Structure formats: structure tokens, C-alpha cells
Structure 1
């Protein structure tokens, strides 16, 4: 199962990262408008971005239907390709939930509202572990159960975030009055948004290709190697989120500072961000080396994978 999840990513991650990297650009536009005091524009960017990136999900979801065909074409074992295809099919809607969640989070984080996403993400981890365990083992759904659990967790995370931030707290009221046709029918705005999103998507694709080529080579060496490789990458991603969070925070603060002509503050923010990234990289790198043997035993019972 671990091997199937790993080889599935060779195909699906190529398209997922393009959309998710595009979504991140929304925080740049929203933070610039917010820093300049143009609160109406913040909401209009959010509405445009949410619609644009949701539409981008449609072809991404369709590509998941061809996971097994692609993997068999690349020479993978038919049974492994079938399992990978089953996993991606049953988890296909998770990317849509991610896009809505990250769009809302980018919009609110541009306004300095970040604690709700941190809390809800932590809750989602616990929920995912519980749902995945129940559906995989007691219910006996195996790999399909894990895929469905992922989709359920992403959906619940998105719903909780929207209900808390929008329906209950009303964090959007300062910058967004609701849906308007004006926000979607301005060609200049589309040009600006796509001018940021498309290069970011292309950059994410080229970077992801490097990882998937390594994954492809590992998969060709057998199910044990690809399982171990996938486990190692998952652990690295777990630690890498700290650097990603720092980078996104720096980007928001810098964009807001530049839009309000506080150039010195923007420079200082970049300096502090670099220092924090380097320090966290050293600490987390050491933690990764120290904890990997224990995490491997927790994730797999196979001694060879460990």
C-alpha cells in the first residue's frame, strides 16, 4: 500500500503542485492591496482567485482517472499500478478541498489572520489519523479507506475553517462584501493574476519533476525501495513545512510593506526570514536524522523498509 501511494504521486503530484503553487500567489496580491489600504480590492482578488483556481482543479481531477494507465505505460507492475489508480480515484476530490482551503487561508493570512488555520490544521491531523485508522483496519477498506479518509479530512478541514472564520468570526467583513460580477469581468485583473500564477505553476512543475524522476527510479528498484523512498520524502515534507511557513509569512509581510512604501521594513523582514530559515534548517535537519529510525518503525512493519 505504501508503495502504491508512492508511485501514484509520480503522476498526480505533477499537476497538484501546479495548482497549489498558483494559489499561494493570491496572498501576494491580497497583501499588497491590504497594505495599501484598498480593502475592497483585497476581497475582489480573493473572489477572482478562488474562482480561477477552482476551475483549474477540473483538469487536475480528470488526470487522476488515468493514473493506472500512465503507470502501466511507464512499465510498472500492473497490480501496483491498479492499486495506485484506486487510491487516486478515491482521493480525487481532496485537491478541490485543498484549493478552497488554501485560497481562503491566503486571503486571511494577507490580513494577518493566521491562528485559525494553525489550530484547524492541528485538529485535522488528529481527525485524519482517527478516520484513516477506522476505515483502513476495523472497516477493512485498506488502501481505499485511506484514500477516502484523506478526502473526508480535507473536506472537514475546509468546512471548519469557513464556518469559523467566515460564518462565525466574520473576518471577511472588513474586505469582502460578497460575490460581485465586477471582480470576475476585469481582463486586467485576470492578466495580473495569471501573470503570477502561471510562472509559479511552471516553476513548481519543473521542481516536482526532479523529485518524481527520483521516485520513478526508486520504484523501478522494487516495492521495498519505493516504500522506503516515499516514507523518507514524507518525513522530509513534514519537517519542510516550517521553512515553507516562514517563507509564506515573509512574502506576506514584504508585500504589505512595499505597497505602503515601508522599504526598510521589507528589507528587515527578508533578513529575519533568512536567519530563521537557516536556523530552523539546521535544527530540523538534525531532528530528521535522529527521529527517522523511530518514525520508520511507526509507519511500516516491514524490516526492509525500516
Structure 2
């Protein structure tokens, strides 16, 4: 399977042996296990962070190129990116996470043939989901007007969104492929492909927008093309690489069987992730309803941009946690799965805490990297304590969500998210923020929503702490028996 994946795939047994070796003193066992697990997580998380960062850069660069065409074009691209594209991105990424659970556990159990079938099933479902999304994109202008946007901005945003329709189906193929590779601890090739593509994307965007003068539609079409380049390159790697020779056996009619049950898991994954993705976007939307919202929106925009960049690190650890836990459960290594949860949570927490300290040190100057003006700088400085707390919570919560995906707890976490975020967090933010309540403005809204995140994090910590990992191994084996079409171990 190649040196890297072979090392990572076979390290679970070594980790389990270290943790189970009662002849070694406890501190020696913990030290050796921590060193091994940290090395495995770094090899998984670092390339994953790069992939998500590059994806973020591609969308942001398209927005920047569009912004240089004029204020209307900037507003249109921003609305198309943050209002409509993020919806499709979150939905497709969430549905693709079903592959993360099944492929990760099947790979750990050495049922390699099923990974390719899971990949194809997920792609079929996501492509089908892309059709109604494309219809929504096609009617984006009246939808945006219905949501209260100015007709001129809605018309320009609709042109941008039309160019993103091919991107929907690139998402449909990309996320299952990405999770298929991650489940095998093959993450570096996706990082290399993403880096090469973003360079090409910048060159093509410059040529299309400035030289060919194709405007918003051209910029959006280049973004769609760039995503399809990533898909094609990753699929070519799967077909040609020796590292995937056991997990990809070509196209199979099995991809069209068992779709209803696969859809249930995909929907649970999508709901869980979308509820998380949309939560802090709602913060900005609610702040826009405040009296004199300009300063509040400007300062929140700066803070949310910083939070978004830092969140990419947590998403990388989310992927690493999901892969490690699902692999270890599939391989019947309960101690390794539990230990991996502890190590990845501590590493992510330490990184986020350090970043939060840095932010608090530069709180008075941070806004000048984005905009001029002492008023905005003062507002950002006041919000930085809330930003720091959010970053610390985001250092823990996505990792625990990754653990949930690795264990197959998506439906449970979706219910927790609904209760903590939308029953408690958003109403509390509204009461604290607006004049009919405490009238604390943006700080009040953010305080309420931090409360929702804190409660959700505490619940996930408690559930994870109370988890019987031997039972999770048993559930993983039962899940694999249910999803394995052959009902027999593929490799003995």
C-alpha cells in the first residue's frame, strides 16, 4: 500500500500493543504511545489543513478578482460565495462524510474491496443531490430578491452563480474521493494537487477576468473548472497509484445497491455539518438587523475572517481524528481509538490556545490588516476576547465532531447541534443583543452563540469521556457486516 499508508495503517497494532504492555511502567507506555500517535496525526492533519486552506484561497481569490471589477461585482461575488456557494459546499461535504465513517472502518478491518463501492455509492447520491441544487442556482435571482436583496445586486449575483453550477457536480465527485483517500491515510497527494491547482487558478482567473474581459461569469466558470481539475487529478491518482490497488477495483454495479440506507447516513452527516457551518453565519445575519449595523458588521467581518482561517486548522484535525478513530475501531483496537481521541484533542486545544493568546496581544492593531479606521479598530479590539474564546472552543469542538464521524454518531450529534445551537444559542444571542432584551449589540449576540457552542462542546466531551470503546468496536463490526455486500471478510 506504499510506505506512508502502510506505516499508518499498520501502526494501530503497534499502538494497541504499547498501551496493553503491562510490563512497561505507565509513564513509559504513555510517552511511547504519545510520540507514535502524534507522528501519525501530524502526517494526517498537516496535508488536510493545506487542502482546506487552498480550497478557501481559491474561493477568496475569485472574490478578490471580481472585486477589482467594481463595487457591484464585489457585492455580487460576495453574496454568491457566502450566501449560496457555502450552502452547497456544506451540504456536499456533510453528505460526503458518510464515506469517512464507512471507508475508515472498512479499511481498519482490511475489507479493502468495499472502499471503492462506498466511494461510488456516495458519488451517485451526491450527483443526484446536485440536480435540485442546480435548479436552486438557476433561480438564484428571484430567490435573492425574495430574501430582500436589491434587484441590481441580485441580478449580478445570479450571473456569478450561473457560472458555479458546474462546481456543484465537482463537489459531488470531489468529497467522496477526498474521504476515500483520507480513510487510507493518503492525504499528501491531495495537498500537492490542490497547491498546483490554486496556482493555475490564479493565472486563469487573471487571464479570463482582465485579458478576455469575461467578467463575473468568467471568474465563476474558472472557479468551477479549477474544482474539476482537482477532481480529475485525484481520480487519476486513484486509478494509477499502487497505493489504491486493493481499494479501487474499477466501476461496479454494486454502487447502485443499498442506496436508501446509505442516503440515511449521508443525510445525518450533512445535517450535522451544515448546522455547524451555518451557525456563525447566522451571527453576521442577525448583526445586520441591529440599529446602525455598519460598524458591527465591519468588525464582525474582520473577526469572522480570522476565525475562518484558524478554523481550517481545526478542520484538518477533524479529518485526522475521524480517520484515526474509524481505522482503529475497524481494526478492533479500542485502547488505540480512545488514546487517539485524547491526543488529537489536546494537540488541537494547545494550538488554538496559543493562537488565541497571540490574537489578544495584537487586538488593537489586527483590523488594520483588513481596513483603515480607528472606529473599526476599536470595535474589533472589543470583540477580540469573544474571538479568542470562539477559537479555543473551535479547537475542541470540530475534533470531537471528527470523532463522532469516525464512530458513526452523526444522527446523535445532529440532535445535539439543533438543541444547543438553534434552541439555546441563537435565541440567547437575540435576547442579549437587541434592545428588547439586554441591548448589548454584537457582543451580546456573540455571547449567546458562544454559550450554545460551549454547551455543545461540553455534551460531546461528556459523551466521548463516557464512551465504552469495546462496545464501539463491536458496533463497527456490526456496521461493516451490514454494509458489506459479500457478508464475508474480503481479506483474512
Structure 1 residue 267 displacement after superposition: 0.8
Structure 1 residue 271 displacement after superposition: 0.8
Which position in structure 2 is the counterpart of 1:243?
Answer: 314
* Contact 1:12–1:67 (Cα < 8 Å) also in 2: no
Cα distance between partner residues in 1 of 2:161 and 2:76: 10
Q: Which has the larger radius of gyration?
A: 2
Higher deviation after alignment, 245-254 or 151-160:
151-160
Between Structure 1 and Structure 2, how many residues are aligned?
Answer: 299
Task: Choose which of 250, 271, 290 in structure 2 pairs with 1:202.
Answer: 271
Structure 1 residue 186 displacement after superposition: 3.3
Deviation digits for residues 42-87 of structure 1 (CA, Å, limit 9, x no counterpart): 2221221121122111111221112221221122111111121111
* TM-score under structure 1 length normalisation: 0.85
Cα distance between partner residues in 1 of 2:168 and 2:313: 22
* Contact 2:137–2:161 (Cα < 8 Å) also in 1: yes
Which position in structure 2 is the counterpart of 1:93?
Answer: 166
Deviation digits for residues 214-252 of structure 1 (CA, Å, limit 9, x no counterpart): 443566778998788667545533331111011111111
2:210 aligned with 1:141: no
Instruction: Map 1:213-232 to 2 at 5 A.
Output: 213-217=282-286
* Contact 1:97–1:154 (Cα < 8 Å) also in 2: yes
Cα distance, 1:216–1:135 mapped onto 2, change above 3 Å: farther
Cα distance, 1:295–1:16 mapped onto 2, change above 3 Å: same
* Contact 1:136–1:145 (Cα < 8 Å) also in 2: yes
Task: Choose which of 106, 109, 122 in structure 2 pairs with 1:36.
Answer: 109
Higher deviation after alignment, 104-113 or 167-176:
167-176
Q: Which has the higher contact order (CA 8 A, sep 6+)?
A: 1
* Contact 2:138–2:162 (Cα < 8 Å) also in 1: yes
2:199 aligned with 1:130: no
Cα distance, 1:80–1:51 mapped onto 2, change above 3 Å: same
2:342 aligned with 1:271: yes
Which position in structure 2 is the counterpart of 1:185?
Answer: 257
Cα distance between partner residues in 1 of 2:300 and 2:232: 33
Cα distance, 1:303–1:104 mapped onto 2, change above 3 Å: farther
Higher deviation after alignment, 175-184 or 207-216:
207-216
Which position in structure 1 is the counterpart of 2:185?
Answer: 112
2:157 aligned with 1:80: no
2:243 aligned with 1:174: no
Cα distance between partner residues in 2 of 1:110 and 1:295: 38
Cα distance, 1:159–1:11 mapped onto 2, change above 3 Å: closer
- Any gaps of 5 or more consecutive residues in structure 2? 1-72, 378-492
Higher deviation after alignment, 153-162 or 255-264:
153-162
Higher deviation after alignment, 222-231 or 277-286:
222-231
